[in-house]
Amino acid sequence: MDDNIAAADIDPTTPIIVGVGQASERLDDADYRRLGEADLAAIAVRAAFADTGLDAAAVAEMIDVAAAVRSFEKSSPASSAQLGRPDNMPRAVAKRTGMDPRRAVEEVTGGQSPQHLVTEFGTEIAAGLTDAVLLFGCEVMSTVRAALKSDDRPDYSETVGGQLEDRGFGIAGLTSVDEVRHGVMVPLAQYSILENARRHRLGRSRTEYAAQMGALFAPMSQIAAQNPYSSTTRVYSAADLAVPGDDNRRVCVPYTRRLVSRDQVNQAAAVVMTSVGAARRAGIDPSRWVFLHGYADLCEKPMMRRPDLSQAPSAVAAVHTALTMAGIGMGDVGALDLYSCFPIAVSNVADAFGLEPDDPRGLTATGGLPYFGGPGNNYSMHGIAEIVEGARRTPGSYGLVGANGGILSKYSVGVYSTTPTPWRRSTSDAVQRELDTAPHIPITRYADGRGVIESFTVLNPDRTDRAGTVIGRLHDGTRFIATAEGYDLLDLLCGQEDPIGRTVYARSSADRNVVTLTRTELDERHPRTAPRFADDYEHLIVERRGRVLEVTINRPDSRNAISPKTNAELDAVFEAYFAAPDLWVAILTGAGDKAFSSGNDLAASAGGTGLSMPENGFAGLTARTTVPKPVIAAVNGFALGGGLEIALACHVIVADESATFGLPEVKVGLVAAAGGLVRLPRALPKALARDMILTGRRLDADEALAHGLVSRIAPKGDVMATARGVAEEMLAASPAAVRASISTMAAADATPDTVTAVRDSLGVLDEILVSPDTTEGIMAFVQKRPPQWTGR
């Protein structure tokens, strides 16, 4: 397609950028005003309006959509606006700048957001859905931090109201439960894992690699020093960045403070996009028009699933896709701004396209996140502004913006030029499908045994509170994450020797995995104990009745909700039960007459990470590969959420006539992930199960019996008597045959084809025919006497 066409020949729906603006405020500026987010953003917006060459009021009247990049103050469930903020940021900024947009949008979290918004609203403009859009973002983290230390704190709260399309966090896949459990939940730790893997792949020593990171970023500081919006004007040498010192401490292996994104900034940027037709009607000079020649938006697999921790092919593919769409190569690009939160975010792309640190074009147009500033999710809006201004200075040249979000998780690219070009349809979906076909690494959540280090991170490596985390591989090739323990291992991770490939020994618990350098040290730190019953339990009542074990969840004041402590005790009790040869049947119930269990104790779980869970699942039952002996659930009231999931993991459910069953998780923003989503559709008609899961609908005892969820109903208050009767019936049968039947049914559940399952089930006879209980059962039948089972 010919890009060298006159602007007059361009389709009037073609999207263009017609105005860009930036603003910044430093604590040591003579005119520092402690501006809040909306006020500083408004300055950038006014600058973008002025950049169009029109009167600001005329531009404000044109704007149909105002879209804000999400600030760090509301980028995750854990974030908060400590000094307050407007309830509707797009409309707060609109009010300050004379706009009354039809639609206000707040984008999801991620540094890809500014470029993604350009491509998204470029597509909407091209489709005729809108013809004038304002994009903006702002961070005032420096002001907030300073103000929190003062007695005179400003209040940025503001009630604006009005329509707002809040797209939420959008952070699914950016971290995982396992990473949070092991302290790898901040970008600094996550990126260092990727960086250490890259260093190892390249075969560089730590000193060599540090020097390379310094050489990559040093030229950026020179560009930042000339940028009037930068947070610093200091120029650094490669050694200044890479060599640790009193004012450049190691914050993480392998990073010093000067090699990572700067977050103490007050910066804002804005972009005005219109259609060509709207620009013509408004009289915007075509010399101000900048076209998007190529673009792409792609995603990477979650970090722990990536085949190679040292690379993110989605970012490379995004750049390639955008260049291909533009019909140019990297050599044709005149200016670049590659997202530079950490060195690997730049080198990941630079490696693929042969870009050198001293490339005369520079790898950043702003000065990079560590030196220009890393204004949260909005950094690349500044990159776009600089690239647009550069394109105007050199008409016909091309500029490229690479915007990164998450942990090399999302990558959005734009190729810009003043040369007119028609709008092109996105090809990102097809490329994404190809990326998604790449294999992923299976994860072992509870790691035990010998493994090797695949990568690692250590926070605060030169302090007494240093904390290390290892990503490793077990003998079966699965990947695990674990906390590094022992001085020897931490010294290895922090020292000059390459620890990747070294053998470590892992052990799991409900809270986390740990690794040490030797098995002896692991046994000393975390000795294994044989399954046994405790003398006393805090949350349970445990009683033996002959060969029957009765376990009562004893938390009636919380409707027998399951806390991390309850989970741990139940897990230990069932371990001991399955190991005890003289116990053949177990009954599980709840104290009182109100509830079997109301599920997860959210209040108790919220006191810590809320992520403590035995390897064997909720109550030590829901995630077991096999439950080898009979467990009867005696449901005496509510069995809700995790309570129902526990009951579903038992072999038989008997219910009090007042019992109630349900999975209400969706009503509190959760899901029944401890087995309910899997077991309930297998236990009930699928339509009914979906109804219960998606609405929180509850079943009473009669409905549960009618649909086969429970096997027997007891008169009110007699559920334990009924359960004991079922246990006695099981005790009258051969324990060996009962256990063999349980294991065979479990195997059949995992085999979808019925005929195959039936044929495979015949293998159980090999076990049963040699059982002493089988001989005893036949002899007792012949001799017309009760059998004397041995359990073998």
**What is the pLDDT averaged over residues 357-386?**
96
- Measured CA to CA in angstroms, residue 51 lies from 38, 65, 283, 415 at distances of 20, 18, 13, 20
Q: Which fold has domain 540-731?
A: 2-enoyl-CoA Hydratase; Chain A, domain 1 (3.90.226)
Q: Which two tokens stand for residue 447?
A: 């790691």
Q: Which pLDDT band holds residue 700 (cuts at 50, 70, 90)?
A: very high
* Positive or negative torsion for Cα 186, 189, 193, 195: positive
Q: Which pLDDT band holds residue 344 (cuts at 50, 70, 90)?
A: very high
Q: Is the pLDDT of residue 628 over 50?
A: yes
DSSP run (H or E) holding 193: helix 187-202
Looking at every residue in the chain, the average pLDDT score rounds to 93
Please give the radius of gyration of the chain, using alpha carbons only, rounded to the nearest integer.
32
- Measured CA to CA in angstroms, residue 509 lies from 182, 492, 513, 566, 612 at distances of 12, 24, 6, 15, 9
Minimum mean pLDDT among 167-171, 363-367, 577-581: which range? 167-171
pLDDT at 381: 98
Is 93:65 a contact under the CB 8 Å cutoff? no
Active site residues: 645, 665
Is 461:455 a contact under the CB 8 Å cutoff? no
DSSP run (H or E) holding 473: strand 467-474
pLDDT at 621: 95
Q: Is the pLDDT of residue 573 over 90?
A: yes
Interstrand relation of 449-459 and 479-484 (parallel, antiparallel or unpaired): unpaired
One-letter amino acid for residue 161 of the chain: G
- Measured CA to CA in angstroms, residue 187 lies from 69, 191, 407, 698, 763 at distances of 19, 6, 7, 42, 51
Is 230:437 a contact under the CB 8 Å cutoff? no
Q: Is the pLDDT of residue 742 over 80?
A: yes
Q: Quick count: other Cβ atoms within 10 Å of Cβ 601? A: 24
DSSP label of 70: P
Query: Domain spans of the chain?
Result: 10-178+258-423, 179-257, 449-525, 540-731, 735-782
Q: Does the domain spanning 10-178+258-423 belong to CATH 3.30.70.20?
A: no
| DSSP structure string for 663-682 | --GGGGT---TTTHHHHHHH
Q: Does the domain spanning 449-525 belong to CATH 2.40.50.840?
A: yes
Quote the CA–CA distance of 737 and 561 in Å, as a whole number: 34
Quote the CA–CA distance of 97 and 49 in Å, as a whole number: 9
**What is the pLDDT averaged over residues 243-269?**
95
Q: Is the peptide bond before 254 cis (omega within 30 degrees of 0)?
A: yes
| Burial profile 225-241: b = 16 or more Cβ within 10 angstroms, e = fewer | bebebbbbeebbebebb
- Measured CA to CA in angstroms, residue 543 lies from 546, 551, 586, 588, 644 at distances of 10, 7, 10, 11, 23
pLDDT digits 0-9 by tens, 594-622: 999 999 887 765 544 445 678 899 999 99
pLDDT at 620: 93
pLDDT digits 0-9 by tens, 399-434: 999 999 999 999 999 999 999 999 999 999 999 999
pLDDT digits 0-9 by tens, 319-340: 999 999 999 999 999 999 999 9
